[in-house]
Structure 1
Amino acid sequence: MTERTTYLLVDGENIDATLGVSVLGRRPQPEERPRWNKLLHHAEMSWHQSVKGLFFLAVDDSLPSSFVQALIAMGYKPVPLRGEGKIVDIAIQRTAAALLDRPADVMLVSHDRDFVPQMEDLAADPERRTAIVGFREFMASDLQSISGIEFHDLEYDVSAFTSRLPRVRIIDIDEFDPLEFI
Protein backbone atom coordinates (compact mmCIF):
# COMPACT_ATOMS: atom_id res chain seq x y z
CA MET A 1 0.00 0.00 0.00
CA THR A 2 1.17 3.52 -0.76
CA GLU A 3 0.49 6.65 1.26
CA ARG A 4 -1.69 8.01 -1.52
CA THR A 5 -5.48 7.68 -1.19
CA THR A 6 -8.16 6.72 -3.68
CA TYR A 7 -11.43 8.59 -3.29
CA LEU A 8 -14.33 6.41 -4.38
CA LEU A 9 -17.27 8.70 -5.20
CA VAL A 10 -20.46 6.64 -5.39
CA ASP A 11 -23.59 7.97 -7.10
CA GLY A 12 -25.79 5.25 -5.64
CA GLU A 13 -29.00 6.55 -7.19
CA ASN A 14 -27.49 6.52 -10.68
CA ILE A 15 -26.24 2.96 -10.31
CA ASP A 16 -29.57 1.79 -8.86
CA ALA A 17 -31.56 3.53 -11.63
CA THR A 18 -29.32 2.15 -14.39
CA LEU A 19 -29.51 -1.34 -12.92
CA GLY A 20 -33.30 -1.15 -12.61
CA VAL A 21 -34.32 0.65 -15.78
CA SER A 22 -31.62 -0.35 -18.25
CA VAL A 23 -30.41 -3.78 -17.10
CA LEU A 24 -33.30 -5.48 -15.30
CA GLY A 25 -36.26 -3.50 -16.62
CA ARG A 26 -37.75 -3.34 -13.12
CA ARG A 27 -36.90 -2.28 -9.60
CA PRO A 28 -33.96 -4.38 -8.34
CA GLN A 29 -34.56 -6.78 -5.48
CA PRO A 30 -32.16 -6.43 -2.52
CA GLU A 31 -30.21 -9.52 -3.58
CA GLU A 32 -29.78 -8.06 -7.09
CA ARG A 33 -28.11 -4.86 -5.92
CA PRO A 34 -24.33 -4.43 -5.94
CA ARG A 35 -22.29 -5.69 -3.01
CA TRP A 36 -20.79 -2.35 -2.10
CA ASN A 37 -18.07 -3.93 0.05
CA LYS A 38 -16.70 -5.66 -3.06
CA LEU A 39 -16.38 -2.26 -4.73
CA LEU A 40 -14.26 -0.92 -1.87
CA HIS A 41 -12.08 -4.02 -1.99
CA HIS A 42 -11.71 -3.78 -5.78
CA ALA A 43 -10.62 -0.13 -5.56
CA GLU A 44 -8.05 -0.95 -2.90
CA MET A 45 -6.63 -3.94 -4.79
CA SER A 46 -6.66 -2.22 -8.20
CA TRP A 47 -4.47 0.70 -7.19
CA HIS A 48 -2.81 -0.81 -4.10
CA GLN A 49 -3.62 2.05 -1.75
CA SER A 50 -6.11 3.01 0.91
CA VAL A 51 -9.61 3.95 -0.21
CA LYS A 52 -12.00 6.50 1.20
CA GLY A 53 -15.48 5.56 -0.01
CA LEU A 54 -18.00 8.40 -0.08
CA PHE A 55 -21.53 7.17 -0.75
CA PHE A 56 -23.81 10.05 -1.80
CA LEU A 57 -27.55 9.65 -1.33
CA ALA A 58 -30.59 11.91 -1.44
CA VAL A 59 -32.88 11.74 1.57
CA ASP A 60 -36.11 13.41 2.59
CA ASP A 61 -36.69 14.12 6.26
CA SER A 62 -35.74 10.68 7.51
CA LEU A 63 -32.43 8.90 7.26
CA PRO A 64 -32.53 5.33 5.90
CA SER A 65 -30.87 4.15 9.11
CA SER A 66 -30.35 0.48 8.29
CA PHE A 67 -28.77 1.26 4.91
CA VAL A 68 -26.59 4.00 6.37
CA GLN A 69 -25.44 1.70 9.18
CA ALA A 70 -24.64 -1.02 6.64
CA LEU A 71 -22.56 1.45 4.61
CA ILE A 72 -20.66 2.52 7.72
CA ALA A 73 -20.04 -1.10 8.69
CA MET A 74 -18.56 -1.75 5.22
CA GLY A 75 -16.21 1.22 5.53
CA TYR A 76 -18.05 3.92 3.58
CA LYS A 77 -18.72 7.43 4.74
CA PRO A 78 -22.38 8.07 3.88
CA VAL A 79 -23.16 11.55 2.58
CA PRO A 80 -26.94 11.98 3.03
CA LEU A 81 -28.17 15.12 1.27
CA ARG A 82 -31.41 17.07 1.30
CA GLY A 83 -32.47 19.86 -1.01
CA GLU A 84 -33.92 20.77 -4.38
CA GLY A 85 -32.64 19.59 -7.74
CA LYS A 86 -29.88 17.13 -8.52
CA ILE A 87 -28.34 17.36 -5.06
CA VAL A 88 -26.27 14.18 -5.35
CA ASP A 89 -24.74 15.39 -8.62
CA ILE A 90 -24.00 18.81 -7.12
CA ALA A 91 -22.30 17.26 -4.09
CA ILE A 92 -20.18 14.88 -6.21
CA GLN A 93 -19.21 17.73 -8.55
CA ARG A 94 -18.12 19.87 -5.57
CA THR A 95 -16.20 16.97 -4.06
CA ALA A 96 -14.41 16.24 -7.35
CA ALA A 97 -13.49 19.93 -7.67
CA ALA A 98 -12.16 19.96 -4.09
CA LEU A 99 -9.99 16.92 -4.86
CA LEU A 100 -8.12 18.88 -7.55
CA ASP A 101 -5.98 20.37 -4.76
CA ARG A 102 -5.17 17.01 -3.16
CA PRO A 103 -2.59 14.43 -4.21
CA ALA A 104 -5.23 11.72 -4.49
CA ASP A 105 -6.68 9.38 -7.10
CA VAL A 106 -10.38 9.27 -7.95
CA MET A 107 -12.84 6.57 -8.99
CA LEU A 108 -16.32 7.80 -9.91
CA VAL A 109 -19.14 5.26 -9.71
CA SER A 110 -21.77 6.66 -12.07
CA HIS A 111 -22.86 6.74 -15.71
CA ASP A 112 -23.84 10.41 -15.65
CA ARG A 113 -22.40 12.91 -18.14
CA ASP A 114 -22.91 15.69 -15.57
CA PHE A 115 -19.49 14.78 -14.16
CA VAL A 116 -17.52 15.16 -17.39
CA PRO A 117 -15.99 18.60 -16.62
CA GLN A 118 -14.80 17.53 -13.16
CA MET A 119 -13.41 14.19 -14.37
CA GLU A 120 -11.64 15.91 -17.28
CA ASP A 121 -10.02 18.31 -14.82
CA LEU A 122 -8.96 15.46 -12.52
CA ALA A 123 -7.67 13.32 -15.41
CA ALA A 124 -5.60 16.24 -16.76
CA ASP A 125 -3.15 15.82 -13.86
CA PRO A 126 -0.52 13.31 -15.05
CA GLU A 127 0.21 12.32 -11.43
CA ARG A 128 -3.41 11.36 -10.73
CA ARG A 129 -5.16 8.11 -11.63
CA THR A 130 -8.83 8.42 -12.52
CA ALA A 131 -11.46 5.82 -13.30
CA ILE A 132 -15.14 5.42 -14.00
CA VAL A 133 -16.97 2.40 -12.56
CA GLY A 134 -20.27 1.17 -13.95
CA PHE A 135 -21.76 -0.63 -16.94
CA ARG A 136 -19.88 0.41 -20.09
CA GLU A 137 -22.88 -0.01 -22.40
CA PHE A 138 -24.83 2.59 -20.37
CA MET A 139 -21.93 4.96 -19.72
CA ALA A 140 -22.22 8.46 -21.13
CA SER A 141 -19.99 8.54 -24.21
CA ASP A 142 -18.51 11.83 -22.97
CA LEU A 143 -17.24 10.06 -19.85
CA GLN A 144 -15.79 7.19 -21.86
CA SER A 145 -13.89 9.56 -24.14
CA ILE A 146 -11.94 11.37 -21.40
CA SER A 147 -8.26 10.93 -22.14
CA GLY A 148 -6.33 8.86 -19.60
CA ILE A 149 -9.33 7.63 -17.64
CA GLU A 150 -9.69 3.93 -16.76
CA PHE A 151 -12.93 1.98 -16.88
CA HIS A 152 -13.92 -0.73 -14.40
CA ASP A 153 -17.07 -2.75 -15.11
CA LEU A 154 -19.18 -3.15 -11.98
CA GLU A 155 -20.14 -6.71 -12.85
CA TYR A 156 -17.17 -8.15 -14.77
CA ASP A 157 -14.19 -6.36 -13.15
CA VAL A 158 -15.53 -5.62 -9.66
CA SER A 159 -17.66 -8.80 -9.30
CA ALA A 160 -20.16 -6.76 -7.30
CA PHE A 161 -23.13 -9.03 -8.00
CA THR A 162 -23.96 -12.44 -6.60
CA SER A 163 -25.54 -13.64 -9.86
CA ARG A 164 -25.07 -12.86 -13.54
CA LEU A 165 -27.02 -9.89 -14.87
CA PRO A 166 -29.05 -10.11 -18.10
CA ARG A 167 -26.76 -7.77 -20.06
CA VAL A 168 -26.01 -7.63 -23.76
CA ARG A 169 -22.41 -6.57 -24.27
CA ILE A 170 -19.75 -6.65 -26.94
CA ILE A 171 -17.50 -9.67 -26.38
CA ASP A 172 -13.87 -9.80 -27.43
CA ILE A 173 -13.42 -12.95 -29.49
CA ASP A 174 -10.65 -14.14 -27.13
CA GLU A 175 -13.21 -14.07 -24.28
CA PHE A 176 -16.07 -15.69 -26.22
CA ASP A 177 -17.40 -18.87 -24.66
CA PRO A 178 -20.11 -20.53 -26.77
CA LEU A 179 -21.33 -22.46 -23.73
CA GLU A 180 -22.75 -19.20 -22.37
CA PHE A 181 -25.14 -19.09 -25.32
CA ILE A 182 -26.17 -22.69 -25.98
Structure 2
Amino acid sequence: MTEQAEERRTYLLIDGENLDATLGVGILERRPRPEERPRWERVLQFARAQWDQPVQGLFFLAARHELPMAFVQALISIGFRPIPLTGRPDEKVVDIAISRTLRALADRPADIMLASHDGDFLEDLASVTDGRRTGVIAFQEFRSQGYRELVERGLEFFDLEYDVQAFDTRLPRVRIIPIEEFDPLEFI
Protein backbone atom coordinates (compact mmCIF):
# COMPACT_ATOMS: atom_id res chain seq x y z
CA MET A 1 0.00 0.00 0.00
CA THR A 2 1.38 3.44 -0.86
CA GLU A 3 1.81 6.24 1.65
CA GLN A 4 -0.82 8.32 -0.18
CA ALA A 5 -3.38 5.49 -0.03
CA GLU A 6 -3.01 5.44 3.76
CA GLU A 7 -3.45 9.20 4.13
CA ARG A 8 -6.69 10.17 5.85
CA ARG A 9 -9.00 12.38 3.83
CA THR A 10 -12.24 14.26 4.00
CA TYR A 11 -15.06 13.30 1.67
CA LEU A 12 -17.05 16.40 0.80
CA LEU A 13 -20.51 15.39 -0.47
CA ILE A 14 -22.37 18.20 -2.25
CA ASP A 15 -26.16 17.95 -2.64
CA GLY A 16 -26.23 20.35 -5.59
CA GLU A 17 -30.00 20.27 -6.11
CA ASN A 18 -30.76 20.98 -2.46
CA LEU A 19 -28.32 23.86 -2.10
CA ASP A 20 -29.45 25.46 -5.37
CA ALA A 21 -33.14 25.15 -4.49
CA THR A 22 -32.60 26.59 -1.02
CA LEU A 23 -30.62 29.52 -2.41
CA GLY A 24 -33.22 30.20 -5.11
CA VAL A 25 -36.51 29.54 -3.36
CA GLY A 26 -35.60 30.13 0.27
CA ILE A 27 -33.27 33.12 0.05
CA LEU A 28 -33.44 34.89 -3.31
CA GLU A 29 -37.05 33.93 -4.15
CA ARG A 30 -35.98 33.48 -7.79
CA ARG A 31 -33.49 31.56 -9.87
CA PRO A 32 -29.95 32.54 -8.80
CA ARG A 33 -27.82 34.42 -11.31
CA PRO A 34 -24.32 33.03 -11.95
CA GLU A 35 -22.65 35.66 -9.77
CA GLU A 36 -24.98 34.73 -6.88
CA ARG A 37 -24.06 31.06 -6.83
CA PRO A 38 -21.49 29.55 -4.48
CA ARG A 39 -17.85 29.54 -5.53
CA TRP A 40 -17.34 25.81 -5.31
CA GLU A 41 -13.55 26.04 -5.22
CA ARG A 42 -13.92 27.93 -1.92
CA VAL A 43 -15.97 25.08 -0.49
CA LEU A 44 -13.18 22.64 -1.35
CA GLN A 45 -10.56 25.01 0.11
CA PHE A 46 -12.61 25.43 3.28
CA ALA A 47 -12.94 21.66 3.80
CA ARG A 48 -9.21 21.18 3.21
CA ALA A 49 -8.25 23.97 5.62
CA GLN A 50 -10.87 23.17 8.29
CA TRP A 51 -9.59 19.68 8.98
CA ASP A 52 -6.09 20.10 7.50
CA GLN A 53 -6.15 17.09 5.21
CA PRO A 54 -6.77 16.19 1.56
CA VAL A 55 -10.36 16.44 0.31
CA GLN A 56 -12.22 14.35 -2.22
CA GLY A 57 -15.10 16.50 -3.45
CA LEU A 58 -18.10 14.59 -4.82
CA PHE A 59 -20.73 16.80 -6.46
CA PHE A 60 -24.06 15.02 -6.93
CA LEU A 61 -26.44 16.42 -9.53
CA ALA A 62 -29.56 15.25 -11.32
CA ALA A 63 -29.06 15.06 -15.07
CA ARG A 64 -32.42 13.76 -16.22
CA HIS A 65 -32.25 14.53 -19.94
CA GLU A 66 -29.01 16.32 -20.63
CA LEU A 67 -25.57 16.58 -19.10
CA PRO A 68 -24.79 20.22 -18.17
CA MET A 69 -21.37 19.90 -19.78
CA ALA A 70 -20.07 23.42 -19.08
CA PHE A 71 -20.90 23.08 -15.37
CA VAL A 72 -19.46 19.55 -15.20
CA GLN A 73 -16.23 20.69 -16.84
CA ALA A 74 -16.00 23.64 -14.43
CA LEU A 75 -16.42 21.28 -11.46
CA ILE A 76 -13.70 18.98 -12.78
CA SER A 77 -11.32 21.89 -13.37
CA ILE A 78 -11.57 23.02 -9.73
CA GLY A 79 -11.10 19.53 -8.32
CA PHE A 80 -14.57 18.03 -7.85
CA ARG A 81 -15.66 14.69 -9.14
CA PRO A 82 -19.13 15.32 -10.64
CA ILE A 83 -21.68 12.55 -10.25
CA PRO A 84 -24.51 13.18 -12.73
CA LEU A 85 -27.45 10.88 -12.03
CA THR A 86 -30.67 9.87 -13.68
CA GLY A 87 -33.58 7.64 -12.76
CA ARG A 88 -37.34 7.47 -12.81
CA PRO A 89 -39.17 10.80 -12.41
CA ASP A 90 -40.40 9.75 -8.96
CA GLU A 91 -36.89 8.93 -7.70
CA LYS A 92 -34.79 11.44 -5.76
CA VAL A 93 -31.62 10.23 -7.46
CA VAL A 94 -29.28 12.64 -5.70
CA ASP A 95 -30.63 11.69 -2.26
CA ILE A 96 -30.38 7.98 -3.09
CA ALA A 97 -26.78 8.35 -4.25
CA ILE A 98 -25.68 10.43 -1.26
CA SER A 99 -27.27 7.96 1.16
CA ARG A 100 -25.49 5.07 -0.56
CA THR A 101 -22.21 6.98 -0.42
CA LEU A 102 -22.58 7.73 3.30
CA ARG A 103 -23.22 4.03 3.93
CA ALA A 104 -20.18 3.06 1.83
CA LEU A 105 -17.98 5.50 3.76
CA ALA A 106 -18.93 3.85 7.06
CA ASP A 107 -16.21 1.24 6.46
CA ARG A 108 -13.50 3.72 5.45
CA PRO A 109 -11.17 5.66 7.72
CA ALA A 110 -12.33 9.03 6.42
CA ASP A 111 -13.97 12.20 7.65
CA ILE A 112 -17.16 13.50 6.06
CA MET A 113 -18.64 16.91 5.27
CA LEU A 114 -22.13 16.93 3.82
CA ALA A 115 -23.34 20.08 2.08
CA SER A 116 -27.13 19.87 2.26
CA HIS A 117 -30.10 21.06 4.29
CA ASP A 118 -31.94 17.79 3.77
CA GLY A 119 -33.02 15.81 6.83
CA ASP A 120 -33.32 12.68 4.67
CA PHE A 121 -29.64 11.99 5.39
CA LEU A 122 -29.98 12.11 9.16
CA GLU A 123 -29.95 8.35 9.72
CA ASP A 124 -27.04 7.71 7.34
CA LEU A 125 -25.01 10.61 8.74
CA ALA A 126 -25.73 9.43 12.29
CA SER A 127 -24.23 6.04 11.43
CA VAL A 128 -20.91 7.66 10.46
CA THR A 129 -20.84 10.16 13.34
CA ASP A 130 -18.90 7.58 15.28
CA GLY A 131 -15.72 9.27 16.43
CA ARG A 132 -14.62 10.49 13.02
CA ARG A 133 -15.02 14.15 12.12
CA THR A 134 -18.35 14.90 10.49
CA GLY A 135 -19.87 18.18 9.45
CA VAL A 136 -22.84 19.73 7.68
CA ILE A 137 -22.44 22.76 5.45
CA ALA A 138 -25.69 24.65 4.90
CA PHE A 139 -27.49 27.93 5.46
CA GLN A 140 -28.11 27.63 9.20
CA GLU A 141 -31.71 28.88 9.05
CA PHE A 142 -32.69 26.19 6.51
CA ARG A 143 -30.70 23.24 7.84
CA SER A 144 -32.79 20.33 9.10
CA GLN A 145 -33.18 20.66 12.86
CA GLY A 146 -32.75 16.89 13.17
CA TYR A 147 -29.00 17.29 12.79
CA ARG A 148 -28.81 19.10 16.14
CA GLU A 149 -29.23 15.72 17.83
CA LEU A 150 -25.81 14.70 16.48
CA VAL A 151 -23.87 17.66 17.92
CA GLU A 152 -23.14 15.84 21.18
CA ARG A 153 -21.66 13.00 19.09
CA GLY A 154 -19.30 15.44 17.37
CA LEU A 155 -21.18 16.74 14.33
CA GLU A 156 -20.01 20.24 13.38
CA PHE A 157 -22.03 22.89 11.54
CA PHE A 158 -20.65 25.31 8.98
CA ASP A 159 -22.66 28.12 7.39
CA LEU A 160 -22.14 28.20 3.61
CA GLU A 161 -22.04 31.99 3.50
CA TYR A 162 -20.55 33.07 6.83
CA ASP A 163 -18.13 30.25 7.70
CA VAL A 164 -17.23 28.92 4.26
CA GLN A 165 -17.41 32.36 2.60
CA ALA A 166 -18.54 30.74 -0.64
CA PHE A 167 -20.19 33.87 -2.09
CA ASP A 168 -18.86 37.02 -3.72
CA THR A 169 -21.82 39.10 -2.54
CA ARG A 170 -23.82 39.28 0.69
CA LEU A 171 -27.06 37.33 0.43
CA PRO A 172 -30.39 38.83 1.58
CA ARG A 173 -30.78 36.44 4.51
CA VAL A 174 -32.76 36.77 7.70
CA ARG A 175 -30.96 34.81 10.38
CA ILE A 176 -30.30 34.86 14.09
CA ILE A 177 -27.13 36.89 14.58
CA PRO A 178 -24.74 36.07 17.44
CA ILE A 179 -24.16 39.37 19.25
CA GLU A 180 -20.40 39.17 18.72
CA GLU A 181 -21.06 39.20 14.95
CA PHE A 182 -23.61 42.02 14.98
CA ASP A 183 -22.55 45.04 12.94
CA PRO A 184 -25.09 47.89 13.00
CA LEU A 185 -23.58 49.30 9.79
CA GLU A 186 -25.15 46.40 7.92
CA PHE A 187 -28.59 47.69 8.90
CA ILE A 188 -28.39 51.48 8.83
The answer to whether structure 1 residue 27 and structure 2 residue 31 are counterparts is yes
**Hey, what's the Cα distance between the residues in 1 that align with 2:148 and 2:23?**
18
* Pairwise CA distance, 1:146: 1.5
Deviations 1:27-85 (A, max 9, x none): 10111000000000000000000000000011123211111000000100000101021
**Hey, what's the Cα distance between the residues in 1 that align with 2:148 and 2:82?**
27
The answer to whether structure 1 residue 36 and structure 2 residue 40 are counterparts is yes
* Pairwise CA distance, 1:94: 0.2
The answer to whether structure 1 residue 56 and structure 2 residue 70 are counterparts is no
1:10 aligned counterpart, secondary structure: strand
Letter in 1 for 2:119: R
TM normalised by structure 2 equals 0.93
2:14 aligned counterpart, secondary structure: strand
The answer to whether structure 1 residue 18 and structure 2 residue 26 are counterparts is no
* Pairwise CA distance, 1:166: 0.3
Amino-acid identity (%): 60
1:132 aligned counterpart, secondary structure: strand
Letter in 2 for 1:66: A
The answer to whether structure 1 residue 71 and structure 2 residue 66 are counterparts is no
The answer to whether structure 1 residue 9 and structure 2 residue 28 are counterparts is no
Gaps of 5+ in 2: 1-5
The answer to whether structure 1 residue 81 and structure 2 residue 68 are counterparts is no
**Root-mean-square deviation over aligned CA pairs:** 1.1
* Pairwise CA distance, 1:145: 2.5
Letter in 2 for 1:94: R
Residue in 2 that maps onto 1:154 = 160
Runs of 4+ that moved beyond 4 A? none
Which residue, 107, 116, 122 being the options, matches 1:116? 122
Residue in 1 that maps onto 2:3 = none
Letter in 2 for 1:145: E
TM normalised by structure 1 equals 0.96
2:104 aligned counterpart, secondary structure: helix
The answer to whether structure 1 residue 138 and structure 2 residue 142 are counterparts is yes
Gaps of 5+ in 1: none
**Equivalences for residues 92-111 of structure 1 within 5 A:** 92-111=98-117
**Hey, what's the Cα distance between the residues in 1 that align with 2:148 and 2:125?**
11
Letter in 1 for 2:38: P
